[in-house]
Amino acid sequence: MNAMVSMSDGVRVSDRETSADLLRTIAEVLDIRSVFPRISEIVKDVLPHDALELVFHDRSGHVTLEARSIEDLTGAFGCSVNDDEPFYIVSDLRRPSSRLTTGASSSVVDTLLAAGYRSVLNVRSVARDQVMRLGFLSKQTDAYRPDDLKTARHIADYVAVAVAHEQLAAIERDRAEARARTERVDARVRVIADKGEALAHGRMIGRSPAWQRVVTRALRVAPTDATVFLQGESGTGKEVVARFVHQASPRKDGPFIAINCAALPEQLLESELFGYERGAFTGANQAKAGQIELAAKGVLFLDEVSEMSLVAQAKFLRFLQEREFQRLGGTRVQKANVRVIAASNRDLRQAVEKGTFREDLFYRLQVFEIQLPALRDRISDVPLLAEHFLAEFGKALGHRSTRLADEARDALLAHGWPGNIRELRNVLESAAILSDDGVIERRHLSLQTKTTAAAPTDLGAIERHTIETVLRETDWNKSKTARKLGLTRTQLYVRLRRYGLENSEGM
């Protein structure tokens, strides 16, 4: 070192070659830690040391990056100095004053001493919004002098700039990946909106901004295993969206099991969810797997989850927390790899406030929420939906084509749709049956008036009227009625009892 000649700025002449070597070493590095031993070897020619330590920390003192030239070097030494001190030199760590100078704990200094280190040169630099500490350690006493500070700073500045560039590059890579993911999602949204991408049990039809927001959120959450909560009025297409998430996910080859919590009484719901062992209750002559077991490696869709009893909620909460359950009447704990998608036409927050829904279960279910708009809030999608439904009905009825007359289209666009897409489908199916020549006119549409449709108490009346209409169309055949309404036989029976239609003519 003594043979080297200092330049006017205090940086040694041989630093020119050192700087070039440093630039070549760190120019394209993706992680400074991977080349830090090489950096140590390069700078030894101008600033001899036995160990080199690099520590980055943010303004709060949190360490964000560490690198050492040797593996057994103790950590957190370089960042322990007061931020107000840009540098310090310790000639002999054995002196008591060294503990105050470095700000390091006694245990750190003792460890360094035990490893044979005697001198320390520490400099500080700033990279973006972080503070960098570069520490040179030598096993010689009085290894560093004030003239070495400029050389150390010179080296530190190179490293700080390299790390700053590395971090900016990493941030830009993350941004580029995020933009690419967004572009892929947006491209899929356009395909679905333009072509009505077919799914196993329905289509995501619609070009309105409100519906495209639903599709976008569904596509974003689909690749994950996050629990999804679908909130929307009855008939807005919650199960269609749930199936879409399933089909767009890595679990698409697994089962999709749907259960309507409102259609089953408390005890039956529990046995449906968790299954039961033989003898668990009267009539349980053999064991039966529950819907959770059947949904393994797939999706369990819980519709109208707000109607689940508090007892069932407690048991299902345990399953969500532990992914474990027991069959009714059983003692064996079972596990199930199941993704849960829940849906409700009620505001669960209000149910929590009323005490009818558990708050802890609410937060477990509402990991990722998707709000489904009412059809009246995406009225521009009515023609697209109508076209899709009429094509479906036309094939079923043997018509070469079924289309809407202008006055019928205008009536559909002017309607309030309290029953949403389900109501639209039922109205169009009935109209397709009434139309003889494949052209649906205004007189074929069974629409409520705007005033009547706007009344919230008329939703039940609309559902009752729809069920009665379909029952007559199917000659009071329950199975056919359930299929046309998109219900299970159990769900249909619940509604028949609700509206007093159990003993109606023809049943």
- pLDDT tens for 312-339 read 899 899 899 888 888 877 778 888 899 9
Angle formed at CA 239 by CA 237 and CA 243, multiple of 5 degrees:
120
Mean pLDDT of 381-408: 82
Domain covering 375-498 assigned CATH 1.20.1070.10 in the classification: no
Token pair of 461 as six digits: 């009346």
The DSSP annotation for 445-466 comes to -----HHHHH-TTHHHHHHHHH
CB 229 within 8 A of CB 271: no
Q: What is the mean pLDDT of residues 191-217?
A: 69
Looking only at the bridges linking them, the beta strands covering 228-231 and 368-371 are parallel
pLDDT of residue 251: 92
- Give the residue from 433, 414, 412 showing the smallest Cα distance to 423: 412
- Give the percent of the chain with pLDDT over 70: 77
Report, in angstroms and rounded to the nearest whole number, the Rg of the chain calculated over CA atoms.
Answer: 35
The 3-state DSSP class for residue 83 equals coil
**Tally of CB atoms within 10 A around 353:** 11
The C-alpha atoms of residue 65 and residue 436 are separated, in whole angstroms, by: 76
Tell me the pLDDT tens digit for each residue of 116-146. 899 999 888 876 677 888 889 999 999 998 8
477-491 pLDDT, tens digit each: 888 877 777 677 777
What is the fold, at CATH topology level, of the domain defined by 196-371?
Rossmann fold (3.40.50)
- Dump pLDDT digits (tens) for 63-94: 777 888 886 665 545 444 444 556 788 888 88
**Predicted pLDDT at 256:** 95
What average pLDDT does this structure show over 31-51?
A: 83
CA distance 189 to 209: 11
Residues in the chain: 507
pLDDT score at 124: 84
Which of 98 and 256 is assigned the larger pLDDT? 256
CATH topology of domain 15-170: Beta-Lactamase (3.30.450)
Residue 22 is predicted with a pLDDT of: 66
**Its pTM surpasses 0.75:** no
Domain ranges of the chain: 15-170, 196-371, 375-498
Burial-class residue 386 by CB neighbours within 10 Å (0-12, 13-18, 19+): buried
Q: Is 222 helix (H, G, I), strand (E, B) or coil?
A: coil
